[in-house]
Structure 1
Amino acid sequence: MSRSKPLSMQQIASLSSLCATDLTSGRNQSRRPRMTTFGSTAYRFNSLPSTNDLARELAMKGAAEGAIIVAAQQTAGRGRQGRSWNSPPSEGLYLSLILRPSIKIAEATVITLAAAVAVRDVFNSEYGLECDIKWPNDVMVGDRKISGILMESASEGEHLRYAILGIGINLLQRHFAGELENSATSLYIETGKSIAPDEILRPLLLLIEDEYNTAINKPDHVIERWVERSSYSSGAHVRLFIGDRTVYGITRGLSESGALILETEAGTRRIITAGEISLRKAE
């Protein structure tokens, strides 16, 4: 569906095919046992321009933390730095999650790191697929992306009002065309398993909630787990694309806030913040 103006909460509820869903049992209900907060309210659509856009509308209207928006297709999905996210019908999980962390803007990167750890771990624990994490938010199989994460937020002063965590996971694609042919992969391509979006959604939400709570209360633990799971974290020779410039260096871990520490060819150390760069391993 296409939308030219924001929807009211009543319109959102009537358009959604499943509201306030119990993701454990599949029953519609207004409240469910507190097995998990995340996903206790779920808005589902056959098609949306962007799940993040609708999540932002809901967050601005006061939607509670943990509400999710899921679409079978996105017609204008996006990733970092304004890139589009390929979202063909029913071939991936296209998910946005509303968060209301009581943290400062400067501390928000760790939430993205926590989400990447959760996505990486769900592939490993549920499907036996070993994945890498490219700083800050791409989950990779070798040099091909299987999942991307985009966090967008609004703030009041130094603190976050809300954050929208958008996650795209390639599940059922059998091949990719054009510029994605050599840079993307899917769970089906890597394992031969046909996994429906809801099948991965349930365990993923449990892992995200656990990592998110750790990120808020013990962010250093999330950073440690991210470093353990990423070949990019330390000692990797990388290229950074900063605007029209290319900078070569070696990664030297993450800062306390989750920023990447880069040792340049000149021997200086530079703190790289999310949204500033595009990173690839140097050949």
Structure 2
Amino acid sequence: MQYWPLRPGSSEHRFNIAHTANLFARVGQNRSKFLAADLLQVIGSGVPLAQCTIFAYPQRRNAEVFSFADRAREVSLPAISHKYVQRFFGLDGNQQVMSQSHCVTNTIVQRQSADDITHPEYRRICYEQPQIAERVALLTHCESNRWLSVNFYRGREHGRFSAQEMNYLEALAPLLIQAVRLHYHAHLQANELPLLLAERVIKQQHVALTLREQTLLRLMLSGLAVEDIAEHLGVRPVSAATYVKRLYRKLGVNGLRELFGLTTQAQWALS
């Protein structure tokens, strides 16, 4: 297993401008299901690839499959991806990369072959069964200590990535990573906005909240009334109101308006 900070590309390969334009034009259109396929189209035939899978690694949660695409392999990629996030992601070499703080500010390139994997079931299900020779992962750190991993899988029929092909992937990597970050951020805003805002508040105020306080914060940022918060927490409205006031004090704000203000500061614009 190898990894290194992304290097400046010097490839002379061309890529399809129309596919690239579509990739960015579709941000916010809830197209995460097709994002991996779009990346394969941008890369084109310059680098033969079998599969592309994009994983998200939220803090203290299992890995999540964000998007996947398969170029006519004889196995079910959704099933393999599901088994990976349920059983094997902790064994992935990219966990070593993501655990190192000096990697946070960079895009990291990681190469992993079947020979690098000692766990027999992980190797069999994720590499031998789909006949994968090698994987290249582009790892980027995002808001609220999330990581994204854009994984490109090489079929055995094409062997390992050549130096020229690696140079081409690294040349395209900044464009691909930025597109994935934008699509993922749009996905969070559309599907997990209260959680995203709560994570911003916690990071901004440098406070440690209990699990119950984190749940309460998400409910407050969902715009729920005290009565609805009480129902979700299983307490009386008067108790919920007390919990809300205590949390405001702990966060150092005077009300919901100031709370939302913490989540919309300029520092979050390009996270």
Same fold (TM over 0.5): no
TM-score normalised by L of structure 1: 0.27
Q: Please identify the structure whose Cα radius of gyration is greater.
A: 2
More helix by share: 2
